[in-house]
Structure 1
Amino acid sequence: MALEASADPVDLARRLQAAHSAVIAHDARVPADVRPVVLESWRRTAGAGVDPDDHDPPVVLDEHRIDDARREHPLAITLPAVRQAVGRVAQDAGHLLVVTDASGTLLWAEGHSAVKDAAWHLGFFEGARWAEADVGTNAIGTALAIDHPVQIFSGEHFVRTHHPWVCSGAPIHDPETGAALGVIDLSGPLRTAHPMILGFVTSAARMAEHLLAERMHQRDRVLHEALLEDLEHRTHGRCAVVSRTGRVVASWPHGWLSGRIDLTSPGSRVTLPDGTVGQLEPVGAGVGFLVRSTAAGCPTPGGMLLAEARVAAIAEPAPAGSPVAGPAPAASAPAPAGTAVVARGAGPGHPPPAVRDHHPEDATVVTLLTDGTPHVRWPGGGTEVGLRHAEILCLLALHPGGLSGEQLALRLYGEAGNPVTVRAEISRLRRLLGERLQTRPYRLAEPFDVDVVGVREALRDGRLTEAMLRYAVPLLPRSQAPGVVELRDELEGALQCAARGSNDAATLLAWIETTEGHEDLPAHQRLSAVLADDDPRAPLVHARTARLEQRLAGRDPYAEPARGR
């Protein structure tokens, strides 16, 4: 950081401008005020031929192209959160809030009109490129060059006309590849300098990376589900799902394919690391690909292209060179009754994707695992149900042979339960469901499907990732009915125990994305240990683990901005 809390900004600016003149103009001995990071940047800048007295940045995007560049850039989805995090800071401090692309080209520049006017005369406006090689040492270009947050104060700028300014920039990285996507920068006149600005910028960059990582995890869940769906529908050899940049997300058999594959060649075929050829099928719009080996003994039947994915809300511009713009997926054939397929989430703000079942055409389907209101649907109709009726449906689903009034009263109300009260509730529920709810004993008429039963079956069969995807939200969290509380505790305890004892990243990731697993420190610690250091998901998991550890220790995890990558 250039400006320490105890420093006098005016005195520091004077000393740095004198140091700049001594080193750049007179090739004198480097004064102590010149930081190593600045001196190295000056050397790179001089080597690029930048003139400290006359060097305007190139304008690479005109007003007709800037809108397209913004719309297509992956940082566009982070901009509202960035504005919320540091927009007020920029306004209060008299700074401009700037977001660039990976080349240092300004895509967004917002702030006080007087500051924007002053910046305009320096060429600091949208469409101009502020890389080091173009305009010398500055917070944008230097942050990209060193891949680290940096503050450039007054005479630390290589070009003299920039000396009246202070700039703080932090790179934002792609969680898929680790490459820089751009920079968040706060720039303003020297009189607005404050030592906390760099911390705000760094924190905003980490927040943007967190949002991008969450989107990546959403895409990964869609890809995991695509693989599960494909395995449900066909018997074949090796297959895998890869991200839009070629990162292998999951494979079957486990470990068949790992690391990355090269997707830069156009077309629907790809050369795999073992030299064999794989067939690509797109999953969603820019989400990733299903890869099937075409080696002998590994048939590649076509036609089932996973078209049910409702992934438009999380689709983003595909990286350059990625063969996403292939033929659109064709509609998949209906799955056999009772077959599990995947229902994709609709994007941020929605629960994680769940595994959805195909039911017999005349089945009564009961949905209890929902952020909304529990509901029942049947061919040609359906209804929402209140909490008490949802509890009854849950308990009857666990006992397909039926329950007596006394048994149901005990599970609904405990020892004080009264069968007469149960009879009244059943009567009201039958007005909604008709003959789908039977009496003597109380039971659900076949065929019926209740989502929570699917969780128990997946757990029983050892399909842990599927069970966790199904249990994205707690079972009737407001319910205090003893039978429901017992089931909820049983499921969450079993899922938690399975996750904490697992060495499978997919299982652990599925668990920590559930409502209950999101705050599970031991599961986060285990996942941190399971993920390789170069796994692009590792930084987010490590950060969440550290936050939970700090919270457990009674420290405020947000007391200081996160540093580094």
Structure 2
Amino acid sequence: MSGNAPQGESPRTVISASWRRSLAAGIHPEVRAAPLVYDVGDIGDARSAHPLSELLPLLNHTLLQIADEAAHIMVVTDADGHILWRDGHREVLRHGDTIGLADGFAWSEEAVGTNGIGTALATGRPTSVYSAEHLIKVLHHWSCVGSPIIDPDSGEVLGCIDISGTTETLPPATVALVGAAARLAESHLALRMRESDERIRSRHQGRLRASGLLVTPSGRVIGGERIAVPVTGGERITLPVGGDRVVLPDGRSARVESLGDAYLIMPYGVWDTPRLSLTLLGTERPHAELDGVRVPLSLRHAEILALLASHPRGLTADQLSFLLYGDAGNPVTIRAEIHRLRAVLSGAVAAKPYRLVGEVEADVLTVREALSRGDLVTLTRLYQGPLLPRSESPALRRERDELDARVRSELLAKGSVDDLWIFAQTPTGHDDFEILEHIINRTSVNDHRHAAALVRLSADA
């Protein structure tokens, strides 16, 4: 500090580097206390918003009792070195108050120079600072050990945990103990991160396609084939700020779509031709397949898709509302449902007007085409029952009744016994009097279908 060569041993490398940073930041050795950054009324909000708040009981259980028994205190800060929590030996806490080693004060190197908190945050690793290694003189009767806590999601520093005491040294095991407490906190954060990843994957699995990537807001790849990113563990993509395009590590451009809690990244070209298949006939559980990935559908989403499939040019929110609800419909409700549906079926539903894009197949469309061609093979294979049997939509009820009538009429007029029997296994044909009579009249008494049709007719009599 005097400018003369040091007598005896030189400072440790980590300390001398910290002193240089602190002096460059304008810290004077005669500083008497840390600066206050949070008033009493503000620190509560800072604590509740900080991700380490949920881990405070764990940190207390790990270090606080040891710190108290050894006449030390435990301090937890945010990434900027602002103290959010502290506890420990009462006498040491009282001494801490005199130098600002208390809730709401700043302990970065830029605030108070070399110290266990600020230097650990600056170096990114557990750091001990003993006695006169502190730059400011008022800390020369203090010793401290700090360790940063790293966010496993973003890879950035969340804060620092520190043990401090009014002694010239701390027990040798303190550095290892504080470092272990920080790693324990990180392991709990990693567990919660993996649980969150699984929820996100489950929520958006239906949106992934063969070449897609599911990415967290921090840029971690957590789903998809990962053909665009080397599978090395912890893969990350730098997401654009305020844009919807990104360049993948292999040089290809890709589109970025926000899913709220994650992002979907698709190389250009994949987005142009989504393959959507709809199963809507004769099932209480309608579903879609998007590029081969099965997506369960709510009844409301299935109704919307059925109407859009029948209107390839698209429908407005007003039109959809009327078709689904009649005069009582509300276009605002439809827009909200479409928003959720587009979140489930990535790229397959366009807007203005709402319409299906890409390659679209639907069992109801294929059955209609089969009726037009007189293709009874396709008709009997795909017709599994009424269109969305639980739907009360006025438009879909009309379509359902019309389709049932056309299928029944076609089979009665042209169907073989085999065709009629297949139809009789559907909810529509199971108890159809005329269908069953045709089967009885065209089969022998030794045919199991003859006997089954008689039983069904007897039950209805």
TM-score (normalised: structure 1): 0.45
Is residue 2:102 matched to residue 1:125? yes
Partners of 2:150 and 2:271 lie apart in 1 by: 41
Match of 1:261 in 2: 237
Is residue 2:49 matched to residue 1:76? no
Shift of residue 261, structure 1, vs aligned partner? 3.1
Partners of 1:31 and 1:151 lie apart in 2 by: 20
| Shift in CA distance, 257/122, structure 1 to aligned 2, threshold 3 Å | same
Match of 2:194 in 1: 217
Q: Counterpart of 2:260 in structure 1: which amino acid?
A: P
Q: Counterpart of 2:154 in structure 1: which amino acid?
A: T
Shift of residue 256, structure 1, vs aligned partner? 3.4
Identity %: 33
Shift of residue 31, structure 1, vs aligned partner? 3.0
Q: Deviations 1:389-424 (Å, cap 9, x if unpaired)?
A: xxxxxxxxxxxxxxxxxxxxxxxxxxxxxxxxxxxx
| Shift in CA distance, 55/203, structure 1 to aligned 2, threshold 3 Å | same
Match of 2:321 in 1: none
Is residue 2:135 matched to residue 1:173? no
Task: Give the 3-state SS of the residue equivalent to 1:190 in structure 2.
Answer: coil
| Shift in CA distance, 89/192, structure 1 to aligned 2, threshold 3 Å | farther
Shift of residue 123, structure 1, vs aligned partner? 1.2
Match of 1:37 in 2: 14
Q: Counterpart of 2:257 in structure 1: which amino acid?
A: Q
Task: Give the 3-state SS of the residue equivalent to 2:214 in structure 1.
Answer: strand
Task: Give the 3-state SS of the residue equivalent to 2:215 in structure 1.
Answer: strand
Match of 1:312 in 2: none
Aligned 8 A contact 1:136 1:159 in 2: yes
Q: Match for 1:244 among 217, 236, 244?
A: 217
Match of 2:256 in 1: 278
Partners of 1:330 and 1:94 lie apart in 2 by: 58
Q: Deviations 1:112-134 (Å, cap 9, x if unpaired)?
A: 33221210110111111111121
Partners of 1:38 and 1:100 lie apart in 2 by: 21
Partners of 1:85 and 1:180 lie apart in 2 by: 20
Q: How does 1:129-208 map to 2 (within 5 A)?
A: 129-190=106-167, 193-208=170-185
| Shift in CA distance, 119/228, structure 1 to aligned 2, threshold 3 Å | same
Match of 1:289 in 2: 263
| Shift in CA distance, 330/45, structure 1 to aligned 2, threshold 3 Å | same
Shift of residue 290, structure 1, vs aligned partner? 3.5
Match of 1:53 in 2: 30
Q: Match for 1:96 among 65, 70, 73?
A: 73
Shift of residue 25, structure 1, vs aligned partner? 2.9
Shift of residue 184, structure 1, vs aligned partner? 0.5
Task: Give the 3-state SS of the residue equivalent to 1:282 in structure 2.
Answer: coil
| Shift in CA distance, 214/328, structure 1 to aligned 2, threshold 3 Å | farther
Partners of 1:58 and 1:164 lie apart in 2 by: 19
Aligned 8 A contact 1:282 1:329 in 2: no
Shift of residue 222, structure 1, vs aligned partner? 2.2
Task: Give the 3-state SS of the residue equivalent to 2:40 in structure 1.
Answer: coil
Partners of 2:79 and 2:267 lie apart in 1 by: 35
Shift of residue 191, structure 1, vs aligned partner? 7.1
Task: Give the 3-state SS of the residue equivalent to 2:41 in structure 1.
Answer: coil
| Shift in CA distance, 53/243, structure 1 to aligned 2, threshold 3 Å | same
Q: Deviations 1:497-554 (Å, cap 9, x if unpaired)?
A: xxxxxxxxxxxxxxxxxxxxxxxxxxxxxxxxxxxxxxxxxxxxxxxxxxxxxxxxxx
Partners of 1:248 and 1:212 lie apart in 2 by: 17
| Shift in CA distance, 251/164, structure 1 to aligned 2, threshold 3 Å | same
Q: Deviations 1:283-336 (Å, cap 9, x if unpaired)?
A: 4xxxx334455646535799999999xxxxxxxxxxxxxxxxxx9996569x9x
Shift of residue 205, structure 1, vs aligned partner? 0.6
Shift of residue 185, structure 1, vs aligned partner? 0.1
Partners of 1:328 and 1:194 lie apart in 2 by: 62
Partners of 1:198 and 1:43 lie apart in 2 by: 23
Shift of residue 97, structure 1, vs aligned partner? 0.8
Partners of 1:329 and 1:211 lie apart in 2 by: 38
Partners of 1:307 and 1:114 lie apart in 2 by: 63
Partners of 2:165 and 2:182 lie apart in 1 by: 19
Task: Give the 3-state SS of the residue equivalent to 1:276 in structure 2.
Answer: strand
Q: Counterpart of 1:275 in structure 2: which amino acid?
A: S
Shift of residue 239, structure 1, vs aligned partner? 2.5
Aligned 8 A contact 1:109 1:125 in 2: yes
Partners of 1:198 and 1:230 lie apart in 2 by: 47
| Shift in CA distance, 36/272, structure 1 to aligned 2, threshold 3 Å | closer
| Shift in CA distance, 263/77, structure 1 to aligned 2, threshold 3 Å | farther
Q: Deviations 1:436-457 (Å, cap 9, x if unpaired)?
A: xxxxxxxxxxxxxxxxxxxxxx
Match of 2:272 in 1: 298
Shift of residue 95, structure 1, vs aligned partner? 1.2
Match of 2:41 in 1: 64
Q: Counterpart of 1:185 in structure 2: which amino acid?
A: D
| Shift in CA distance, 264/104, structure 1 to aligned 2, threshold 3 Å | farther
Task: Give the 3-state SS of the residue equivalent to 1:64 in structure 2.
Answer: helix
| Shift in CA distance, 230/143, structure 1 to aligned 2, threshold 3 Å | same
Partners of 2:133 and 2:338 lie apart in 1 by: 54
Q: Counterpart of 1:281 in structure 2: which amino acid?
A: L
Partners of 1:191 and 1:152 lie apart in 2 by: 10
| Shift in CA distance, 275/290, structure 1 to aligned 2, threshold 3 Å | closer
| Shift in CA distance, 292/92, structure 1 to aligned 2, threshold 3 Å | same
Number of positions where the alignment pairs a residue of Structure 1 with one of Structure 2 = 283
TM-score (normalised: structure 2): 0.55
Shift of residue 90, structure 1, vs aligned partner? 1.2
Task: Give the 3-state SS of the residue equivalent to 2:179 in structure 1.
Answer: helix
Partners of 1:80 and 1:220 lie apart in 2 by: 24
Q: Find the structure with the greater CA-based Rg.
A: 2
| Shift in CA distance, 239/134, structure 1 to aligned 2, threshold 3 Å | same
Match of 1:500 in 2: none
Partners of 2:71 and 2:337 lie apart in 1 by: 48
Match of 1:489 in 2: none
Partners of 1:292 and 1:168 lie apart in 2 by: 46
Partners of 1:66 and 1:121 lie apart in 2 by: 19
Partners of 1:328 and 1:128 lie apart in 2 by: 49
Shift of residue 54, structure 1, vs aligned partner? 2.4
Q: Deviations 1:130-157 (Å, cap 9, x if unpaired)?
A: 1112111100011111111111111111
Shift of residue 91, structure 1, vs aligned partner? 1.1
Aligned 8 A contact 2:220 2:237 in 1: yes
